[in-house]
């Protein structure tokens, strides 16, 4: 059975759009690597990602920042996080990876939900403990086993990655 694969990426004036067999994809990628199109594309995507993170970091410090709420709401939407525990997982990811906040008491998480125009989780400890039970969150050693220092485990990251691919 021959499967068709598709790749379509645009970064500035560099555009890659291919649909075909897996073998054809390998050939196409090899050609792109030879003429530097792939590395140019990757470099441009890295620059755009870093610029977005820096913009988010510079505006996230302001409580109630419209960009902060919009960015978090976009994460929830893009990953199709419908249930509150998954949204809390997304909030922890957003705070740790985008805003580089490593201490997030309930008020910080609730504020993030409010900035996004979403209902706050309410009993946050319940959600965090359930996420820990599912091995989606871990508490780093030296954090006195406090939920406010929770970070995503490999399983938690994989779960969000899977959700964003659905």
The model's pLDDT over 130-142, given as tens digits with 9 standing for 90+, comes to 999 999 999 988 8
- In this structure, the strands spanning 4-11 and 14-21 are antiparallel
pLDDT beyond 80 at 55? no
Q: How far apart are CA 110 and CA 104, in angstroms?
A: 10
What is residue 159's three-state secondary structure? helix
What pLDDT, on the 0 to 100 scale, is given for residue 18?
Answer: 82
Two structure tokens written together for 58:
């510079």
Judge whether 128 and 147 are in contact, CB under 8 Å: yes
pLDDT beyond 70 at 56? no
Confidence of residue 52 (pLDDT cuts 50, 70, 90): low
Q: How far apart are CA 166 and CA 161, in angstroms?
A: 9
């Amino acid at each position: 059975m021959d499967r068709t694969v598709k790749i379509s990426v645009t970064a500035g004036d560099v555009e890659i759009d291919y649909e075909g067999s897996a073998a054809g994809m390998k050939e196409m990628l090899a050609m792109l690597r030879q003429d530097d199109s792939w590395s140019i594309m990757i470099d441009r995507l890295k620059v755009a990602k870093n610029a977005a993170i820096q913009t988010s970091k510079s505006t996230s410090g302001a409580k109630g920042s419209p960009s902060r709420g919009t960015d978090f709401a976009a994460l929830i939407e893009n990953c199709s996080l419908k249930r509150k525990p998954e949204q809390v997982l997304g909030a922890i990811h957003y705070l740790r990876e985008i805003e580089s906040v490593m201490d997030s008491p309930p008020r910080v998480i609730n504020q993030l939900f409010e900035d996004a125009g979403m209902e706050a989780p309410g009993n946050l400890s319940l959600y965090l403990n359930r996420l820990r039970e599912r091995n989606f969150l871990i508490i780093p050693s030296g954090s006195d086993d406090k939920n406010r220092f929770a970070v995503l485990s490999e399983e938690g990251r994989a779960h969000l990655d899977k959700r964003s691919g659905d």
